[in-house]
């Protein structure tokens, strides 16, 4: 699928650019994964599963640091330790895989909530007004499209292919670019896009 590989390349280039200006350890990890394309997070998850020798579905700090190193994540040890602490929410000295993936997905739901102004679980054109600014859109500037038309095109890109009804559900939002399921890879694409688009 040419569109998906183009988006993959664009995502990787954008992640590399943003990485130089980013100081938040969680975001730096996310961007380093994105710089490898849409399978970056999945690859890191695989590395961590391989490091989990006792199949406990968790990593201690030593396994975590080795996993980052084996995957080629460039990060100072202090930064990696800060990252470990942010994933180790309960302070147990272990990172649970589910906690780890949840942390990487949180920004998506934050973006969804920001877009869903009415809080009804569906994003519509009305929700986008005042949240999404179309003034810089070239087709708005040249008078080719109205604000509502641009909103509709935006919503259609998230909407289910066979049911473009101008309403985007949470599920459709997560399934964007996935085709079948809301894998972590596409969520990471959302994080990158949503963070810049919605200033999260």
| pLDDT tens by residue, the chain, 200 residues | 334 456 567 767 877 888 788 777 777 777 777 777 656 666 777 777 777 777 888 888 988 888 888 888 888 899 889 888 888 878 899 888 766 666 656 666 777 888 888 999 999 999 988 777 888 888 999 999 999 998 888 888 777 667 788 898 887 776 553 332 233 344 445 555 556 655 66
Please tell me the predicted confidence (pLDDT) of residue 142.
94
Please tell me the predicted confidence (pLDDT) of residue 182.
33
Please tell me the predicted confidence (pLDDT) of residue 195.
64
CA 21 to the chain's CA centroid: 18
What is the rounded distance in angstroms from the CA atom of residue 126 to the CA atom of residue 115? 10
**Token representation of residue 41:** 């997070």
What is the rounded distance in angstroms from the CA atom of residue 143 to the CA atom of residue 169? 30
Going by C-beta distance under 8 Å and a sequence separation of 6 or more, which residues neighbour residue 116?
122, 123, 127
Please tell me the predicted confidence (pLDDT) of residue 159.
72
Please tell me the predicted confidence (pLDDT) of residue 2.
36
Please tell me the predicted confidence (pLDDT) of residue 132.
78
Please tell me the predicted confidence (pLDDT) of residue 101.
61
Would you give the DSSP letter of residue 60? E
Domains annotated on the chain, with CATH: 2-101 (1.10.238.10), 104-183 (1.10.238.10)
10 Å Cβ neighbour count for 86?
A: 14
Please tell me the predicted confidence (pLDDT) of residue 137.
83
Please tell me the predicted confidence (pLDDT) of residue 119.
92
The 3-class secondary structure across 118-180, one letter per residue, is CCCCEECHHHHCCCCCCCCCHHHHCCCCCHHHHHHHHHHHHCCCCCCCCCEEHHHHHHCCCCC
H helix or E strand, kind and range, residue 97? helix 97-115
What is the rounded distance in angstroms from the CA atom of residue 136 to the CA atom of residue 103? 32
Please tell me the predicted confidence (pLDDT) of residue 59.
86
What is the rounded distance in angstroms from the CA atom of residue 177 to the CA atom of residue 91? 35
Burial (0-12, 13-18, 19+ Cβ within 10 Å), 27:
middle
Burial (0-12, 13-18, 19+ Cβ within 10 Å), 115:
buried
- The answer to whether 145 touches 137, Cβ cutoff 8 Å, is yes
What is the rounded distance in angstroms from the CA atom of residue 1 to the CA atom of residue 101? 26
């Amino acid at each position: 699928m040419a569109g998906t590989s183009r988006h993959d390349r664009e995502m990787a280039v954008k992640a590399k650019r943003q990485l130089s200006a980013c100081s938040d350890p969680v975001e730096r990890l996310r961007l380093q994964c994105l710089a490898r394309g849409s399978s970056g997070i999945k690859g890191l998850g695989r590395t961590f599963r391989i490091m989990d020798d006792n199949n406990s579905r968790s990593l201690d700090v030593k396994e975590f640091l080795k996993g980052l190193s084996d995957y080629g994540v460039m990060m100072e040890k202090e930064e990696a330790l800060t990252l470990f602490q942010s994933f180790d929410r309960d302070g147990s000295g272990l990172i649970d895989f589910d906690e780890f993936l949840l942390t990487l997905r949180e920004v998506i739901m934050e973006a969804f909530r920001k877009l869903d102004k009415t809080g009804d679980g569906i994003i519509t054109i009305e929700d986008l007004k005042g949240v999404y600014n179309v003034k810089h859109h070239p087709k708005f500037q040249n008078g080719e499209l109205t604000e509502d038309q641009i909103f509709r095109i935006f919503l259609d890109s998230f909407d289910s292919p066979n049911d473009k009804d101008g309403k985007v559900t949470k599920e459709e939002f997560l399934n964007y670019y996935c085709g079948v399921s809301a894998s972590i890879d596409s969520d990471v694409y959302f994080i990158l896009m949503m963070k810049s688009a919605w200033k999260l």
